[in-house]
Amino acid sequence: MSSPPPPAACAPLRTPGPRALAALLLAAVAGCAHRPEPDRRVLAAPPTVTASAPAVSAPAPVTQVASPWHERRRAVPDRGVERSPVVRWRTPLRGPVTLPLAVGAEGLWAVAAGQASMLSSTGEELVVAPVQATTAVAPAPDGPVVGVDDGALLALSPTTGKVSLAWAGAAKARGSAVPLGAELVWTTSDGAVRGTVRGALGRLVSLAGDPSSDGQRVYLQTQSQVLAAFDAQGPAWRSHLLGPGQGAPVVGDDLVYAAWDRQQDQPGGVMAVHPHDGSPRWQVELSSPPSAAPALAPGLLLVPLAEGSLQALDPQTGQALWNVRLGPHPIPSPPLIGARSAWAVDLGGRLHRVDLDDGGVAWSLALGAPATAGPELAWGMLIVGLASGEVVAVGEADE
């Protein structure tokens, strides 16, 4: 399989000092934002699978209808940003943006240096909640909730950022909340699985990633090679992974998908199990270990790999569809799947778009710093969190 040549960067990507970082970001804004690479397509080859903030403005509603956030599918029906990408705005926060972004009804939530911030469609920071957050914000139906460093789960006011309700925990909140029946469930660093109604539901050793949910069961995986489910009665089942769990499980219509990392001489891979008992439907080993959880759309399971590739699989059989290499850098977060495209970021600081039908690379845009969260789709733009502490919005250039 031949790999497309890496696109030329608009600014050098290294670990700079404060003065160099300021110069790097200025160059990124002046260069990468206004000189995107021309639209192009680099076809994927068949794979081998071994089994500054703008002016203040009123918030705009988020026009995004997607799969339920707690299923972790990361699929949206919109066309998104397809052609001529350009940086629309950059908002600096108070530290690296490494936790997942969350799109809620009121705006987009990001966590940096323990503070949860809600941003508007123009990048204005509308709400700041200094709560020592240790999880991503969960856009629950009754309002945003976030886990904090004393293990508690807090409900936040989307207009003021003040805490409106709190549920006690212990240790440090580890996984963002998901629904289970009439309550919310989150995890803490001591392995506890906690609910807002029933308190402690159980415990798992060495939790990995966020939980996911179909509303009736919560699914979790661990570094100790366990994929587990909890229901209204407590622990429901456990299934064995061939390596340490990687990211959150992904809930499909009739299957649950889990990625595992390399384990000694055992390659990383992905498996699909039945949600009612955890029995395996299929499992495949991949040429490179998954670097984050997969994303799911009808007919497509898209797995990010540590080698900098995206691996497309058939969700029902695990059969390889295509594989495309985006560059030499790992992909740290699940890709986002739209109506005709998928988008992914890498630790080299680039945002990529590929076509869903064959994995052809359409464009790649340098963002100026390692991309560590996102992308998310909101207001017709792709939103990405950077290790430099910025949240960046990418839209299509004006015709």
Whole-number Å distance between alpha carbons of 242 and 33: 42
Q: Are 396 and 85 in contact (CB under 8 A)?
A: yes
Q: In this structure, what DSSP letter does residue 99 have? A: S
Specify the pairing of strand 102-103 against strand 234-240.
Answer: unpaired
CB distance 162 to 156 below 8 Å: yes
pLDDT for residue 105? 86
Cis peptide before 375 (omega within 30 of 0): yes
**Closest C-alpha among 287, 252, 296 to residue 269:** 287
Q: CA-to-CA distance for 282 and 347, rounded, in angstroms?
A: 30
Domains defined for the chain, CATH in brackets: 18-51+57-396 (2.130.10.10)
Residue 304: per-residue pLDDT: 97
CA distance 114 to 73: 26
Task: Give the other-Cβ count within 10 Å of 238's Cβ.
Answer: 12
Q: Going residue by residue through the chain, which has 399 residues, state the pLDDT in tens, using 9 for 90 and above.
A: 444 444 333 333 333 443 343 333 333 333 333 334 444 444 444 443 433 333 334 444 334 346 789 999 999 998 999 999 999 999 999 999 999 999 988 899 999 999 999 999 999 999 999 999 999 999 998 899 999 999 999 999 999 999 999 999 989 999 999 999 999 999 999 999 999 999 999 999 999 999 999 999 999 999 999 999 999 889 999 999 999 999 999 999 999 999 999 988 889 999 999 999 999 999 999 999 999 999 999 999 999 999 999 999 999 999 999 999 999 999 999 999 999 999 999 999 999 999 999 999 999 999 999 999 999 999 999 999 999 999 999 999 987
C-beta atoms surrounding 81 within 10 Å: 26
**Residue 266 carries which DSSP code?**
B
Q: DSSP letters of 335-354?
A: -EE-SSEEEEE-TTSEEEEE
Q: Tell me the Cα Rg of the chain.
A: 20
Query: Which residues lie below 8 Å from residue 19, measured CB to CB, with a gap of 6+?
Result: none
CA distance 262 to 228: 19
Reading the block at residue 329, the tokens are: 């850098």
Note if the bond before 100 is cis, omega within 30 degrees: no
- Tokens linked to 180: 């289970």
Nearest to 221 by CA among 187, 199, 245, 189: 245
Q: Dihedrals φ, ψ of 233, to 5°?
A: -95, -5
Residues 6 or more apart in contact with residue 387 via CB below 8 angstroms? 96, 97, 98, 369, 370, 371, 372
159: DSSP letter: T
* Rounded Cα gap, residues 235 and 146, in angstroms: 24
The whole-angstrom separation of Cα 135 and Cα 330 is 22
pTM of the predicted model as reported, rounded to 2 decimal places: 0.84
| Eight-class DSSP state of 78 | S
DSSP 227-260: EEEEETTEEEEEEE-SS-EEEEEEE-SS-EEEEE
First CA to last CA distance, the chain: 36
**Looking at the DSSP assignment, which residues form a beta bridge with residue 203?**
192
